[in-house]
Amino acid sequence: MNAPSKNQMPSLSIRKHTIAFFSLLLLYIFLYMPLLVMVIFSFNNSRFSPTWKGFTFKWYQLLLENSNILEASLNSLIIALASSTLATLLGSISAYALYQHKHNGKSDTKTKNTILSLMFIVMVSPDIALALALFIFFNLIHINLGFTSLLLSHITFSLPYVITLVYARLKDFNKHIIDAAFDLGATPFQTFTKIIWPLIAPAIISSWFLALTISIDDVIVSFFVTGPDFEILPIKIYSLLKLGINPQINALMTIIFAITLLSSIIYYRFTKEQD
C-alpha cells in the first residue's frame, strides 16, 4: 500500500490516453495487416486483382500439386525438427553442465560468464556475418553444402537460445535439492532424470519450440550454406518471389502462419507456467 497512486500516472491526461490507445491499436494493425492480407488473398479467386473476386481453394490445390514446393517444405521440416531436437538435447546438457560446473570444488563464475558471453555473441551476431563465416568454413573443410552443413548451421544459431533459457531456469531453483539427491546416493544421471528434468521440462519444451521457429524462419544463413541438392523452403520462396505475384505464396504463408501461431501459443503456455 506504499504507492496508492501507482496506477495513476500524473503525466497522462485523459485526452493523451485516447491518443495512446489509438496509436497502440495502429501498431497492432500495422503488425498484423500484411499477414491478414495474405490470408485473405489466399482465398481470393483472382491472380492479379487487389480486389475481392470470390472465394476459392484453388491456390491451396495448386500448392499441394506443386511437387517442388512440397519437397522443399519437407526438407525444411526435416532440418527444423532435427536441428531443434539436437540443439535442445545438446543445449540442455550444456546448461546443466554449466550450472553444475565447479573448478577445484569452487564455483567457477569466470568460466560460466565466459561461456554465457560467448552465447550472447552468437545470439547478437548478424545473420549475414554468420552465414558468410559458415559458408567459407564448410567450403574450406570440404563439407558439401547441403543437408549436413544446413543442420550444423541451424544447430549453431539455435544452441545459445536453448542454453540461455534452460540455464536461466536452472539458476532459479534451490541448489540444495541437488545436493540432497547426491547425499542420498543418486548418480548424476539419476539426479538429472529424477530431480532436474521435471523442474526444467517447461524451459526445455519452450526452447525446443523457439529453436523450431528460428530454424523455419531463417533465410540468410540457409541461403548461403545450402546447395542445389537440398533445396529448402525459404530458398524456393525467394526464387518464386523474384518471378512476381503468385497467389500460391499466400496459401503457403497462411499454412506457415497457422503453424507458427499454434507453436507460439504452446510456447506461451509453457513460459507462463514457468512464472
228 to 247, contacts with another protein by CB under 8 A? 234, 237-238, 241-242, 245
Per-residue x/- track, 56-95, another protein (CB under 8 A): ----------------------------------x--xx-
Q: Closest separation between CB of residue 61 and another protein, Å?
A: 19
Give the residue, chosen from 15, 55, 105, 198, that forms a contact with another protein under the rule CB under 8 A. 105
> Among 123, 126, 157, 152, which Cα is nearest to 137's?
152
d(CA 65, CA 234): 19
**Cβ distance 198 to 270 under 8 Å?**
no
Is 256 a residue that touches another protein (CB under 8 A)?
Answer: yes
Give the residue, chosen from 152, 201, 205, 266, that forms a contact with another protein under the rule CB under 8 A. 152
d(CA 27, CA 31): 6
3-state secondary structure of 1: coil
CA distances to 13, 17, 141 from 10, in Å: 7, 12, 63
* Residue in the block written with cell 486483382: 49
d(CA 135, CA 166): 29
3-state secondary structure of 76: helix
Q: Closest separation between CB of residue 250 and another protein, Å?
A: 8
| Cβ-based nearer residue to another protein, 25 or 64 | 25
Residue numbers 32-51 binding another protein by CB under 8 A? 32-35, 37-38, 41, 48, 50-51
Per-residue x/- track, 163-202, another protein (CB under 8 A): x------------------x----xxx-------------
Q: Closest separation between CB of residue 169 and another protein, Å?
A: 16
